[in-house]
Amino acid sequence: MRKYSLLLLVFVLAVGLFAIKGDPNTLVDLTIGEPDTLDPHYAYDTASGEVIYNVYENLIAYKGESVTEFEPRLATKWEILDGGKTYKFYIRKGVKFHGGGELTPEDVEYSFERGLIFDPAGGPMWMLWEALFGIDSLEGFVEEKLGVAYSDLFDENGEPKPEYRDALIKIYTDYIDPAIEVEGDAVVFHLVRPFAPTMSILAQGSSWSAILDKEWAISVGCWDGKPDTWWKYHDIQKEKSPLYATMNGTGPYKLVEWDRSQQKVILEANENYWREPAKIKKVIIWGVDEWSTRRVIFEKGEADIVYVPAQNLKQVEGRADTEVIKGLSTVIITALHFNWSVDPESKYIGSGKLDGEGIPPDFFNDEHVRKAFSYAFNYDAMIEEVLLGLGKRVAYALPEGLLGYNPDLPKYDFDLLKAKEEFKKAFNGELWKKGFKMTLLYNTGNTARQTAAEMLKFYIEQINPKFRIEVRGVQWPTYLDAYKRGKLPAFIIGWLADYPDPHNFIFTYYHSNGVYGGPQGENYRKFVSQPTDELGGKSLNQIIEEAVAETDPAKRQELYETVARFVYKHALGMALYQPLGLRVHKKWLKGWYHNPMRPGDDYYAYSIEF
């Protein structure tokens, strides 16, 4: 009975939706899932970002398909001053928020200060903290300035202890407030040092840099703008944010409804939009998780855009009314990285010794082992046979299209003879004699990662029958927890750019403080922190830090190529592939363009012509 009711509900929803189409003023986008939140300072997923992108606006935007050129949006022009430490944006006049308020420079200042103060755990605001202050969180900044753990500054009721109240007020008045100032019709950002990705962090598509209406935000319960209350508005729970399910932007579309029960968001055109009203007057973003249901709705012509998994692509190819676009550029990398100091208590290293029944915790501290693994992976077969050609090779963990990329950089190719040579050199020949046993995990449901792990197992076990690798699937939370706690001898993981700058990848994967750099173990962190003659007396960490502070693109390119060659020489991880995207929509949809940093569709660019 329950199954019947569910099928009936799907049918009713579909019939209700079918009645809408045939109208060139309405667009239906069939996707999966739904937004996590509509608060720009909390949102850190593409489903949320797509809605925010079409409702709110930023100071600047990417120009068309470019991820390196910018054009004005709520700022009419800008200046980069003081060697890259000062950014000045002149704010557009005559722009109205959906609620009727007029855009002012004070709205811009408030928006960024509210985001810095809110800074939800696991959210996106670390990027603005890093850009402005060189640190990745509000709490870390407060602890650095006051020398006390953030949680110790407050009593059991969440109020500042008397001895810290004035110091907390000064965190805002002496640091946060002066970092973002209004100067006449302009807003000025003061950075503690040059930070090359700043413009990318501010560009349209980055929900965390969207502009709010200050008076409206305060009226609905956001930070009141006062220096002696800011801590009350820090890291509040997602659903308790006043902006969780309500929106008031300046963009081409206004929020009509977010129906959680149907995973559906409905937008309508902003007829007072400062450019000109959108051609399509109504947009329905509908999360339909089951592919077969999405396919039926799309094939009936009752949707304009549909999300199609690569393995189902043949089911829609060749249709007269359907346009399929493959091989789209992305800003994503999937890589395998080694843990040089595995937790000795890990259950994934067998005996924990070089005795044929396990691996020692420092197994991957041996450069020959890392090189052997790098040679033992069939990169081309992975792309052609597993990804169905929707991927490409890269030299290190940096996608094509970003500064620092160079197709001529050295990279490891599939070569079992070289892999054998390296294995024979490892541990002074002892590894070849004794063999090893270890476990590689993948997160269940990710068939690409599963196949990558099984491919390594297959080829490495061919090299020497004493080499044994178990491949095991676990749930994503288990996988995530294990790699973060240093339990995994190696981990396969991907990274989708927060902003299209090499720092977002290079720091993440190779710096000792990176999200993926740190879990590579204490031996790795020491290695990349130590100065070496090979890098002119500097450490890899220092080169990475120099690169992000360098404002000359040519010098940055040189620094990142230096990183790439160092990564290759010492086999600091295996860049498995850069995936390529695909797009499926009806041929009557006009105006679509590809920008890999856009979180979904730019409905303002579209028209429907039957």
Question: For the chain, which residues make up each domain, given as ranges?
Answer: 2-32+252-328+582-608, 46-238, 332-579
Other beta carbons less than 10 A from residue 177's beta carbon: 14
Mean per-residue pLDDT, 492-500: 93
pLDDT in tens, 287-321: 998 999 999 999 999 999 999 988 889 999 999 99
Q: Which amino acid is at 332?
A: I
Rounded to whole angstroms, how far apart are CA atoms 131 and 145? 18
CA dihedral (248, 245, 290, 387) positive or negative: positive
Q: According to the model, what pLDDT value does residue 445 have? A: 80
Q: According to the model, what pLDDT value does residue 18 have? A: 43
User: Cα separations (Å) of 1 from 5, 262, 292?
Assistant: 6, 20, 21
pLDDT in tens, 320-371: 999 999 999 999 999 999 999 999 999 999 999 999 999 999 999 999 999 9
Least confident stretch, 64-68, 116-120, 569-573? 64-68
Structure letter (DSSP) for residue 437: E
Q: According to the model, what pLDDT value does residue 551 have? A: 86
Mean per-residue pLDDT, 241-261: 97
Mean per-residue pLDDT, 580-585: 96
Rounded to whole angstroms, how far apart are CA atoms 342 and 346? 7
Q: According to the model, what pLDDT value does residue 571 have? A: 98
pLDDT over 60 (residue 1): no
pLDDT over 70 (residue 110): yes
Find, among 459, 464, 553, 543, the residue nearest to 507 by Cα: 543
Confidence of residue 9 (pLDDT cuts 50, 70, 90): very low
Pairing of strands 607-608, 589-590: antiparallel
CATH number for region 2-32+252-328+582-608? 3.40.190.10
Give the whole-number percent of the chain exceeding pLDDT 90. Answer: 90
Assigned CATH topology for domain 332-579: Dipeptide-binding Protein; domain 3 (3.10.105)
Q: According to the model, what pLDDT value does residue 2 have? A: 34
Q: How many CA atoms lie within 13 A of 156 on its CB side?
A: 0
Structure letter (DSSP) for residue 587: T
Rounded to whole angstroms, how far apart are CA atoms 247 and 35? 13
Give the whole-number percent of the chain exceeding pLDDT 70. Answer: 96
Q: According to the model, what pLDDT value does residue 21 have? A: 59
Find, among 516, 469, 464, the residue nearest to 495 by Cα: 516
Structure letter (DSSP) for residue 233: G
Rounded to whole angstroms, how far apart are CA atoms 519 and 492? 12
Mean per-residue pLDDT, 593-610: 96
Report CA 110 to chain centroid distance, whole Å.
25
Rounded to whole angstroms, how far apart are CA atoms 487 and 385? 31
Confidence of residue 3 (pLDDT cuts 50, 70, 90): very low
Task: Indicate whether this model's pTM tops 0.75.
Answer: yes
CA dihedral (602, 603, 604, 609) positive or negative: positive
Largest CA distance in the chain: 76
pLDDT in tens, 469-480: 999 999 888 998
> Average pLDDT of the chain?
94
Mean per-residue pLDDT, 32-59: 95
Report the DSSP beta bridge partners of residue 285: 29, 265
Mean per-residue pLDDT, 466-470: 98
pLDDT in tens, 440-461: 999 988 888 999 999 999 999 9
CATH number for region 46-238? 3.90.76.10
Mean per-residue pLDDT, 34-58: 95
pLDDT over 90 (residue 16): no
Find, among 291, 386, 396, the residue nearest to 336 by Cα: 396
pLDDT over 60 (residue 490): yes
Q: According to the model, what pLDDT value does residue 8 have? A: 41
pLDDT over 80 (residue 180): yes
